[in-house]
Amino acid sequence: MTTTTAPATPPAVEPDPVPPVPSGQVGHRRRHGLLLHVGLIVGLLLMVGPFVWMILGSFKTTGELRRIPPTFIPEDPTTGNYRELFDRLDFPRYFFNSTVVALAVTAGNLLFGSMLGYALAKLEFPGKRVLFVLMLATMMVPAIVTFMPLFVLVSNLGLANTHLGLILPFLVGALGAFLMRQFISTIPDELLDAARIDGAGEYTIFFRIVLPLCGPALATLAILTFLGSWNAFLWPLVVASTEDMYTLPVAIALFAIGQQETNVALQMAGSVVVVLPVVILFVAMQKYVIQGVASTGIK
Amino acid sequence: MTAELSGSAPAVTPLVPLVPQRNRRRAWKQALIGWSFAFPFVALFIVFLAGPILVSFITSFTDLRSTDIRSPFGVNFVGFDNYVDVFTDPTFRKAAVNTAVFVLFGVPLTMVLGLLAAVALNQGVVKIRKVFRLGFFLPYVTSIVAIAVVWRLLLGTDAGLVNGLLDLVGIEGPGWLTDTTYSLPSLIVMAAWRNLGFSMIVFLAGLQAIPTDMYEAASVDGATSWQAFRRITVPLLRPTLLFVSVITSIGYLQFFEEPFVMTQGGPLDSTLSVSFHAFNQFSFGNYGYTAAVSYVLFLAIAIFAFAQFKLLRPKT
């Protein structure tokens, strides 16, 4: 859990190539290798299959989707589902809500998380250890524990059904501070001491030296926080009570629950719209997601 | 940059103050600077996390209901009544059993599949490994809502893809989500599918830390792949196994969104989880009871995590 990533040499996620095989075992190895690859490909099909089926299904008519035996490739591809979806639901609005909330939550976690991370890693102040332990302890607390008090708090502040109500409770997280603390600990003290001797204040050091060195950690934290917020479901479902405050997952979920099994093709198209931005972001920043998960185990 | 800066000044230069008073002022200043960095986080943390955790704990000993929020003076302390209610409530017991089954079957299944994928990826396909890694990890970063929509259609009784395929080979598939025998196992399989990418990534990182010459030595000594896996991989992966096991259990003990969007807890409460039960009671306005249920869950998570640390801790 306390694996750290050094700024100078980020851990190589790529493993070393297979070691050379002793010649006597080549035949055995080859059969073994074939089995391995077949297994991997079957596994990949099972993992990605539902997504492919979803994308293909979004171009089918509901009639075709419900046919037995099922078709795989759309017989008569149509974009009608997407057009109907955008006609019936205010997608630009949901997209805007999801984006605003996710960006604000990400910005908060980056700034406040790295500030606390710096204080915990490099500064001495009373209460530091207690703070760190308390922060880590809250990571075991199930989300449902704070759900009710948070709802009452946000309602009493008059923030129910507002963007702020969706953002504020998630502006800081223990995981962000933890990740940043681990990373900043690996920055050599000498570097900071040298700047102090040159007369730099702690804020200058933080913004001009520490943060620029934290690129990989900040990228990891940013993408993970953004994904988490984009996919968040329960809190927005309860806090956003009118349609103009819905985030994408809430809108799709309520639409799907309302439709049940009647209009499955539309639901497929809706899911594609929710998933697509995440997939693009994830593919583009794959390296940082995987690094982050591997080093801290967070989503 | 590092070398340049540290070269231009001596590495350690604590300014030794001569007067104790100056020393104290410096300590004050240091504390102030430290806390100024910590303050924004701590303030938000207290208001939106630590505070609610405490409020929830206190609430679990009261008869607070949603209707009392405007006039909190009508609220009474009721001792452990809520906790007694929780444990005598048949719905809670049902939810607790479901959650236990979900964790006891789901965690090992997820970890075994994740380990299999990691070991396989660590051996072959060097060139296109990234494609596989991406594919296996994709469900983990996808919205549960989209996954639920697709899986509900996959597992549909009459027009689902799975039953459609079974029909091709002459098997009449069951109602995966509508039959109480299959609903919870279906959700366990779905959760394993969704989360195995996480275990895989962590295991891959752990596998890379094992030096390859250990396998070479084992191979020279005539060890089979299975022996090498049992005697080298598993023992050296022990800390990683513990980590994945704890994280996955903490997540699975809270499972909620899957049944919420897939089955609404049904049929006949067969997929109702403890978190879901607490959420339902929250919706009904039974805040005291909700708090008690969620604290029981918290306690279960803490005990479970602690037990795993005790059992799986690397032996020294």
Question: For residue B9, what pLDDT is reported?
Answer: 45
| Alpha-helical runs (H) found in chain A | 26-57, 62-65, 80-88, 91-122, 128-137, 143-156, 163-167, 174-185, 189-197, 202-204, 211-213, 215-231, 234-239, 248-259, 264-284, 286-296
Instruction: Scan for tokens 């989500």, then name that residue.
Output: B177
Domains annotated on chain B, with CATH? 90-312 (1.10.3720.10)
Angle of helix B90-123 versus helix B238-253 axis, rounded to 10: 140
DSSP class of residue B62 equals B
pLDDT digits (tens, 9 = 90+) for A122-167: 888 888 999 999 888 888 899 899 999 999 999 988 998 999 999 9
Give bridge partners of residue B62 from the DSSP assignment. B77
- Side-chain-side CA neighbours of B181 within 13 Å: the count stands at 3
Question: For residue A279, what pLDDT is reported?
Answer: 85
Task: Indicate if the pLDDT at residue B95 is higher than 90.
Answer: yes
Domains annotated on chain A, with CATH? 23-81 (no CATH), 84-296 (1.10.3720.10)
**Identity of the amino acid at B72:** P
pLDDT digits (tens, 9 = 90+) for A231-279: 888 899 989 888 889 999 898 888 877 765 567 788 888 889 888 888 8
Chain A residues with CB-CB distance to B309 below 8 A: none
**B284 alpha carbon, distance to own chain's centre:** 27
Distance CA(B146)–CA(A91), nearest Å, equals 15
Out of A290-299, B182-191, B237-246, which region has the weakest mean confidence (pLDDT)? A290-299
Task: Give the A:B interface size as CB pairs under 8 Å.
Answer: 329
Chain B contact for A262 (CB, 8 A cutoff) = no
Task: Indicate if the pLDDT at residue B316 is higher than 70.
Answer: no
What is the band of B42 on the pLDDT scale with cuts at 50, 70, 90? very high
If you average pLDDT over residues A277-283, what whole number do you get? 84
pLDDT digits (tens, 9 = 90+) for A60-113: 887 777 776 667 778 778 888 888 888 888 888 998 999 999 999 999 999 999
Cβ distance A69 to B158 less than 8 Å, yes or no, reads no
CA torsion sign, B133 to B139 to B140 to B143?
Answer: positive
Task: Indicate if the pLDDT at residue B270 is higher than 90.
Answer: no
Distance between B148 CA and the closest CA of chain A, angstroms: 9
Cβ distance A268 to B279 less than 8 Å, yes or no, reads no
Chain B residues with CB-CB distance to A290 below 8 A: 133, 137, 201
Distance between B306 CA and the closest CA of chain A, angstroms: 11
Chain B contact for A195 (CB, 8 A cutoff) = yes
Distance between A227 CA and the closest CA of chain B, angstroms: 7
- Side-chain-side CA neighbours of A23 within 13 Å: the count stands at 0
Of B8, B45, B193, Cβ closest to residue A172: B45
Question: Of B145, B248, B252, which is closest to residue B201 (Cα–Cα)?
Answer: B248
Question: For residue A202, what pLDDT is reported?
Answer: 87
For residue B267, what are the CA distances in angstroms to A279, B263, B274? Answer: 33, 7, 16
- Side-chain-side CA neighbours of B257 within 13 Å: the count stands at 24
Instruction: Scan for tokens 């000993």, then name that residue.
Output: B61
Angle of helix B183-208 versus helix B90-123 axis, rounded to 10: 40
Instruction: List the structure tokens of A96.
Output: 């805007």
Interface probe for B, chosen from A2, A36, A40 (most Cβ of B below 10 Å), is A40
Chain B contact for A34 (CB, 8 A cutoff) = no
DSSP class of residue B230 equals I
